[in-house]
Amino acid sequence: MDELELLKKDWGKQDTTYKKLSADEIYPILQKKSSSIAKTLFHISIGELIFWILINTIPHFSSDSYRERLDAVYSNEYVFAGLTIISYGVILLFIYLLFKSHKAISATDNAKKLMESILKTRRVIKYYVLYNLIMAFISMVVGMYFAIIHDPKLTETISHFNQKQMLVTYAILIGVTAAFVFIIWIFYKLLYGLLLRRLNRNYKELKKLEV
């Protein structure tokens, strides 16, 4: 049982006068916990940026075959460069917004402002996860399109398909895309879900203090 839970337990046993004092004692704990969560989210976002940079750069520079396949799929280098710049740009924006949220939560001495900062942090996370799911879907579709158009072996194979085989191929591609997006969703749910639930609990506790 943490410090907040112990205070809440004692809080419920006391009279109305002591409850007012306890509210003043509980607020700094909620602020500290919320600030710690926002800081953890900020550190995770930096780790995620480093992770994706390594995932994208190490195979590109260490494997000639990987680089050749990538060049064959994205024959238009501007498409690949554009997707990469947008992806990293959004992650950097996300890091900046989380850093601002952490600072706002740490600096506030007002319950209402703290609640607003918590809500903003939750929205930033939700929008970021939604963006990544959409980008994962778009990247898969674009990658498959360029692979079909520019991969000679794949193009030759598909050119001999009848209508039924083409429908099966499209169904498989849709299934693979859906599975990939679902895995990304699970990843973010595990990565950010626990911290968001804790942040949400803090928000509810602050609502109770206002009442």
Mean pLDDT in residue range 38-55: 84
Q: How confident is the model at residue 35 (pLDDT cuts 50, 70, 90)?
A: confident
Q: Domain boundaries in the chain?
A: 19-210
Query: Over the stretch 143-186, which tens digit does the pLDDT of each residue have?
Result: 777 777 766 677 677 777 777 877 888 888 888 888 988 998 89
The pLDDT score that the predictor gives to residue 67 is 61
Residue type, 43: H
Question: How confident is the model at residue 55, as a pLDDT?
Answer: 76
Q: What was the pLDDT predicted at 79?
A: 65
Assessment of whether the complete model's pTM goes beyond 0.85:
no
Q: pLDDT tens, 120-133?
A: 888 888 888 888 88
- As a whole number of angstroms, the distance between CA 133 and CA 185 comes to 7
CA distance 2 to 8: 10
Model pLDDT, residue 87: 79
What average pLDDT does the segment 189-194 reach? Answer: 84
- 24 vs 138, which has greater pLDDT? 138
Q: Residue 115, exposed/middle/buried by CB under 10 A (0-12, 13-18, 19+)?
A: buried
